[in-house]
Structure 1
Amino acid sequence: MKSGLIICFLLLFGVLSIQGQQIDVKEIELAIKNPESRFFYPLLLKRFNSLDTTLKKEDFKHLYYGFAFRENYFPFEMDELEKRLKDLNYAKKFEDVIDLADSIGHSVPTDLTVLFEKSYALRSLAKKEEVIVRSKYNVLLKAVLASGDGKSPETAYQVVFFGDEMEVLSALGFRILERQTILKDNRFYDVWILGKNKQKLEKLYFDVTIPHKFEEQQLIKDLKESN
């Protein structure tokens, strides 16, 4: 029975569109905090973790971007945790990767890097759970890919974790040369300069306003608490 659910879940992930769409973060924030909404976050997360095959791409969008409005959202702290996972995988300490990823995943279930590194470790140990973790990774990655095409600031991919930029770049097969961070129209963008590629793209844009705005809000909060 469980294997059948996994297959259905994977088939659902496979048909998701990756065409660009504008992300209305205000609408998402209201929806995930509303107990009467189908996107109420606790229920949405429960369905996601139970491999609910009736979830649709709007659900996954709210799941990924809605996490930015949860109390456990600390984007800058995730950078160090992601690095530790990568280092452990590089050292082939796969059991340690799984343990650390599980401890992170309880409070931060939508970080793409965490899911990828756990999936890699599980696959290295030939554990069946890898199929489930990889499917979760794939659907959240597609939610990010659906946010734009990355060709301009106006159509930038929108992420809630900085590490997710690398997951998108890797999934698209781009070789990167350098990164620049710019501010345009009161929004923050990471601009990745690309190596030669078949698409003949010179740059790829990521909208990182959400994590940067969190930094500003946290700074204001810290200043208020210190007075």
Structure 2
Amino acid sequence: MKYPFFLLFLFVSVFGFAQKSAIDFKAIEKNLKNEKSPYNYEKLIFKYKGYPKSLDTIETQHLYYGRNFRKDVVSTNDDDFKTLAEAFKTANFDECIKLGKILYEKDPTNLDILLILLKAYDSKQDSNNVIHHLGQFRALTGAIRSSGNGKAEKTPFQVNSVGDEYILLNILNIGQDYTRGSKSTKDGILDIWEKDNSKIYIKVLYIDY
């Protein structure tokens, strides 16, 4: 699902100051389930919902990549999400807010849901909710940015889904003038987006331990 709206506005804010750090997916899975860990899911989601700017890189990585180990995420194939997407498509922003808030409570780290809510609240000039959800969006996309630099096969940006890949592409302003090549890896599909001498590497993860 592509989101051309106001993503250029997000570009500088999201990717201005991210730092790289190695990601240990097994550790993330373990920490999220450990009630004594500082990276326990309930502890992190409390900070995320209350004050997302307080999250550091490791915490945002746990929230974003930890989605691979959760069973309660909302899929774009779910009927409820399809209804939300249709409301967005028809610019029914009141309905977007109503449905989006319900799905947000089920899956607060879903980038698709966050973007729809951002656009809906922006249309209503609800600055408080825009600022809050924008902070969450920056935190999660900052986790993507910290996963690599996108400049080589060994340092790709890593995303959880094809949908998240297109969100990233929109932010990076990579459009139809780029061609895509793909290759399989042991834990995902590596997409190479190329234009002239420029290449961007993005890995769509398929984690299966």
- Aligned pairs for 1:1-227 within 5 A: 17-51=17-51, 54-73=54-73, 77-78=75-76, 85-128=84-127, 129-176=129-176, 177-184=178-185, 186-195=186-195, 200-202=197-199, 204-209=200-205, 212-213=206-207
Rounded Cα–Cα distance in structure 2 between residues aligned with 1:117 and 1:58: 26
Q: Which moved more, 1:158-167 or 1:28-37?
A: 158-167
Residues 1:63 and 1:163: Cα distance change in structure 2 (over 3 Å): same
* 2:184 alignment partner AA: L
Rounded Cα–Cα distance in structure 1 between residues aligned with 2:180 and 2:108: 27
Q: Any conservation in 2 of the 1:188–1:208 contact (CA below 8 Å)?
A: yes
Tell me the number of residue pairs that the alignment of Structure 1 and Structure 2 aligns. Answer: 194
* 1:106 alignment partner AA: E
- Residue 59 of structure 1 and its aligned partner are, at CA, apart by 1.3
Rounded Cα–Cα distance in structure 2 between residues aligned with 1:72 and 1:146: 25
| Alignment gaps of 5+ in structure 1 | 1-12, 218-227
Residues 1:133 and 1:68: Cα distance change in structure 2 (over 3 Å): same
Q: Which moved more, 1:31-40 or 1:97-106?
A: 97-106
- Residue 112 of structure 1 and its aligned partner are, at CA, apart by 1.4
Rounded Cα–Cα distance in structure 2 between residues aligned with 1:52 and 1:148: 22
- Residue 144 of structure 1 and its aligned partner are, at CA, apart by 0.7
Q: Any conservation in 1 of the 2:32–2:62 contact (CA below 8 Å)?
A: yes
> Relative contact order (alpha carbons < 8 A, sep ≥ 6): 1 or 2 greater?
2
Identity of aligned residues (%): 24
| Larger Rg, first or second structure (1 or 2) | 1
| Alignment gaps of 5+ in structure 2 | 1-12
Root-mean-square deviation (CA), in Å? Answer: 2.7
Match of 1:153, SS? coil
Rounded Cα–Cα distance in structure 2 between residues aligned with 1:206 and 1:15: 15
Match of 1:78, SS? coil
With structure 1 as the length reference, what TM-score do the two structures score?
0.74
- Residue 37 of structure 1 and its aligned partner are, at CA, apart by 0.5
